[in-house]
Structure 1
Amino acid sequence: MIAMQYKISLPDNYDMNVIRQRVADNGHRTDGFQDLIFKAYLISEKRDSSKSCNEYSPLYIWQNNDGMNKFIFDGYYDNILSSFGWQKINIGIPITCCLGKDFNLSKFALEIEHEITPMKQMKAINFSLEKDDCTSKVLIYNPDKWKYVEYYFYKDRPIKKTIGKIYSILHLSQ
């Protein structure tokens, strides 16, 4: 499996309804895409908090690189380039991908980022939230940056946790 995500930061005054409409019009195009386990169309919006920002951050989990390569190089990613310009695509390795039976009902995602600190012996990476009411969860690591990210998916907006960022899910392609 391969994880892929690009995080597009948008101005504070950006009308996020433009993204909502974009996903409403086009989100179905990745339904059933080759080798795609899922694509979560994630957005966050500028709120009163200084920590939040307007962001469009689709998260992909691919079964293998064939579908990912097709998406990037066969014209599909060109829609991002023409709308938002050159974006860095973050690549990671899913160490755990637990999709529950209610995953497709998820409306929110909690993202928790971590550093992997130097150690003499490698230790397993685990989820930080032990008992949680999520529909699904994914743990992705990147040894190039020595970071890992936890994603928890929910039907209802989770209580704001200071340890992570909450995204709204506009569409889930599977």
Structure 2
Amino acid sequence: MIAMQYKILLPDDYDMNIIRQRVSVNGYKTDGFQDLLFKAYLIAEKVDSTKSCNEYSPLYMWKENGGMNKFIFEGYYDNILSSFGWQKINIGIPMTCRLEKDFNRSKFALEIEHEVTPIQQMKAINFSLDIDDCTGKVLIYNPDKWKYVEYYFYKDMPIEKTVGRIYKVLHLSQ
């Protein structure tokens, strides 16, 4: 498996309904896409001066790289380029991917980013939160940057919202 995500940071005054409409009209196009385990159409909104920014950050989990290559190089990613310009695509390796039977009902995702600090003996990376009421958990690492990210998916707004970034899930393609 391989994970892929691009984080499109949008201006504070950007109308996020544009993204909602975009996903409403086009989200189904990645349903059943070659080698795609899931694509979570994630957005975060700036609600006041204490929140970071408006963001559109789709998260992809690919079973094989063939589908990812097709998506990037055979015209599908061109929609992102024409709408938002050149975006850096973050690539990661899934360490853990647990999707519950009700994963497709996820409406929120909690993202927690971490640095991997230098150590003398490598050990497996684990989730930092002990959460059982989520619809899915994904842990992705990137040894090129020595970072890892945890995602927890929920049907309802998570209580743990102070420890990371909360996204709304607009659509889940599987």
Report 1:82-101 matches (<5 A).
82-101=82-101
In the superposition, the TM-score normalised over structure 2's length comes to 0.98
Aligned to 1:48: 48
Deviations 1:96-154 (A, max 9, x none): 00000010000000000000000000011000111331111000000000000000000
Aligned to 1:111: 111
> In structure 2, the residue corresponding to 1:72 is in which secondary structure?
helix
Report 1:58-137 matches (<5 A).
58-137=58-137
> Aligned AA for 1:167?
Y
Q: Contact between 1:42 and 1:169, CA under 8 Å: does it hold in 2?
A: yes
> Aligned AA for 1:75?
G
Give me the whole-angstrom Cα distance separating, in 2, the residues matched to 1:119 and 1:46.
Answer: 37
In structure 1, the gaps of 5 or more residues are none
Relative distance call for 1:124 and 1:160 in structure 2 (3 A) is closer
> Aligned AA for 2:67?
G
Aligned to 2:172: 172
> Aligned AA for 2:168?
S
Give me the whole-angstrom Cα distance separating, in 2, the residues matched to 1:19 and 1:131.
Answer: 30
Give me the whole-angstrom Cα distance separating, in 2, the residues matched to 1:158 and 1:72.
Answer: 32
Q: CA deviation at 1:160?
A: 5.1
Give me the whole-angstrom Cα distance separating, in 2, the residues matched to 1:150 and 1:134.
Answer: 13
Give me the whole-angstrom Cα distance separating, in 1, the residues matched to 2:24 and 2:137.
Answer: 24
> Aligned AA for 2:134?
C
Q: Contact between 1:44 and 1:52, CA under 8 Å: does it hold in 2?
A: no
State the identity %.
82
- 127-136 or 162-171, which moves further after superposition? 127-136
Give me the whole-angstrom Cα distance separating, in 2, the residues matched to 1:121 and 1:162.
Answer: 31
Give me the whole-angstrom Cα distance separating, in 2, the residues matched to 1:27 and 1:152.
Answer: 21
Aligned to 1:149: 149
Give me the whole-angstrom Cα distance separating, in 1, the residues matched to 2:132 and 2:48.
Answer: 27
Aligned to 1:10: 10
In the superposition, the TM-score normalised over structure 1's length comes to 0.98
In structure 2, the gaps of 5 or more residues are none
Q: How many residues align?
A: 174
Q: CA deviation at 1:34?
A: 0.1
Q: Contact between 1:160 and 1:166, CA under 8 Å: does it hold in 2?
A: no
